[in-house]
Structure 1
Amino acid sequence: MLAVAMLALGMGLGALIAAALYATELKRIATFLRTRNKHSNARVTAGTPAPGIHELASVINDGLEETSRERIEALRSQEEFQRDLSALSHDIRTPLTGAKGYLQLALDETDDDVRTHHLDAAAARIDSTTELLDALFAYTKSTDPDLSLTPEVVEVETAIEQALLAHYPEFEARGWEPRISCAEGTTILADRDALARIFDNLIVNALRHGADAPRVSVRSQDGVARIEFANAVAPGTKIDADRLFDRFYQADSARNSSGSGLGLAIAANLARAMGMELSAHVEKGDGGAPDSLVIALVSRNR
């Protein structure tokens, strides 16, 4: 009986000691988390071999690592946004300053023809600013999580032809003849207006930055439609395909090329909103032929 009593007493004391150790360790961990600087890289350590403490410390540290990664990513995004905002401010201010200068010249000019020239130049710069602001509004709208889309069955070839036809004067002025290769009867489920905007933005990108007429191909297999817009690029053009859909990205780092750098970002956002994928790669030319930029829209929601 005495042995049993001693065993029971020992087990009770062991439980009390274990409970005290757990309470002390948990209090230490709680104090660490409460007083820890959120910018610190310090992590929870296990001060006792008690069962479960190491696992608890590991889970907490995993959470701290994830929070740290999210904080670093948020800071990086904020820095990128500030750089983009600075570039956007420059892009808006430059044409407006030019317009103001031409208007001042027009006010001081007595020759009607010269005055008209100055006014036309001012109007062109104001139009450039308006285009940029319209693109910024379209980009903001495309990122809206509550963006209202109405999916319907769309015949791809017809939609592409309509988008190309809208830019016929620009193609004619360049002497370009776009080519379409489309699997007959290919349809996808998409919002008609959003899809038209995607095609339009891809065509505008080819017109502004391409060196030849765009080539459009459409393939469909096993319920997946792949629509590719390809166009040659001028020799020496450097394109970062991984950044092509970033807002304000332009291959011309000096930002001297036309456009807002938002067209492809808008297209990517609209594609994503419809459950599609937009990707890009540079295809090396063979036998001295120029490289081509290939942008592909993939739809799996037919």
Structure 2
Amino acid sequence: MEIVIGILTVLIIFLVLYIVLIQLQLRNINYQLEKRLTEYTRQPVSVELINKDLNKLVVNINKYLKAEESLRLKRIREDRKFRELIVNISHDLRTPLTAIKGYQQLIKKGELPYEQLKKLEIAIKHTNELENLIQYFFEYSYLTNSEPDIDLERTNLNNFVAESLITFIPLLEEKSLSLHFKETKPIFALVDKKMLKRIIQNLARNCIQHSEGDIEVKLLLMKDRVIISFKNPIKDAYNVDEEQLFDRFYTADKARSKSTGLGLAIVKLLAEQMGGSTEAAVHSESLDIRVSLPLYKG
């Protein structure tokens, strides 16, 4: 009896030690996987304990990691090819468009009858719209098919928004519009300056294109967010669907509108990539488009 008890005791101790070793190996595997994630290494997972099932698990993990790495590299190569394609197509379209604009300017400098001059101005207007459409299309395609390279930094929104809006003064004067920017005490946000500038440019162009009166821009400070608001009066406000306004190719009036919605779709994409959001609301024949961004808490 004592021999049996002794054997059972040894077996129990052996099993306990074996279970402890299994747990240690599992912890080691988890540590190796976490290290791969945090340090972005490609080191395969290894195991020291000889256990058929555990070894098979490690082999399958390594196979999965290798397959995942191959897919990642393939995606990077495809993204690179896509960017090159976008650049090439963009260049192919812009080259003849630039020539067309050049000839239009040359014709405009000549002596033309009033009726011919009016037709030329209409052609120039449509050419500029085509140029903007090409720019929006390729920018949207690029943003939706590539990994964003985001550089978030502390930014004084008051100064940044004011400086970005100054460039639109000639276009505002051409459209006989006024823009009022309500400055507040300095507000700092955590943003990518290039992305934020593109957001402001798209919102400003959208307002100038569709506004029926003066444009109001302001900053609103929330608990942990800051909101950039662009508000302007619009025609047929009841036709605007606030829920779909940021969808690509959305138009408020499909029969007459020449807007593709790509400008606002780009605004939404850029805002979300920086951890922000967008919303729109119609109040008393005015459209208020708001971009919410993370507040700097340093």
TM-score by length of 1: 0.56
Structure 1 runs of 4+ aligned residues shifted over 6 Å read none
Q: Which amino acid aligns with 2:226?
A: A
Q: 1:233 to 1:185 in 2, by over 3 A?
A: same
Task: Quote the sequence identity (%).
Answer: 27
Partner in structure 1 of residue 201 of structure 2 = 200
Distance 2:124 2:215 in 1: 30
Partner in structure 1 of residue 288 of structure 2 = 294
Which shifted more, 122-131 or 149-158? 122-131
The SS at the match of 1:211 is coil
The total of aligned residue pairs comes to 191
Contact 1:209–1:233 (8 Å) recurs in 2: yes
Distance 1:185 1:127 in 2: 37
Distance 1:202 1:271 in 2: 12
Distance 1:180 1:112 in 2: 42
Distance 1:150 1:215 in 2: 29
- Where structure 1 has 5 or more consecutive residues not aligned to the other structure, the ranges are 1-91, 286-290
Deviation at 1:129, TM superposition (A): 2.4
Distance 1:126 1:173 in 2: 17
Q: Which amino acid aligns with 1:265?
A: A
Q: Which amino acid aligns with 1:294?
A: D
The SS at the match of 1:218 is strand
Deviation at 1:236, TM superposition (A): 5.4
- Where structure 2 has 5 or more consecutive residues not aligned to the other structure, the ranges are 1-92
Partner in structure 2 of residue 130 of structure 1 = 131
Deviation at 1:136, TM superposition (A): 0.3
Q: 1:274 to 1:207 in 2, by over 3 A?
A: same
Q: How does 1:134-173 map to 2 (within 5 A)?
A: 134-173=135-174
Deviation at 1:147, TM superposition (A): 1.5
Q: How does 1:38-57 map to 2 (within 5 A)?
A: none
CA deviations 1:34-55 (Å, max 9, x no partner) are xxxxxxxxxxxxxxxxxxxxxx
CA deviations 1:71-125 (Å, max 9, x no partner) are xxxxxxxxxxxxxxxxxxxxx9xxx9xx8xx99xx9xxxx973698577765554
Partner in structure 2 of residue 113 of structure 1 = 112
The SS at the match of 1:241 is coil
TM-score by length of 2: 0.57
Deviation at 1:300, TM superposition (A): 2.5
Tell me, yes or no, if structure 1 residue 276 matches structure 2 residue 240: no
Q: Which amino acid aligns with 1:275?
A: G
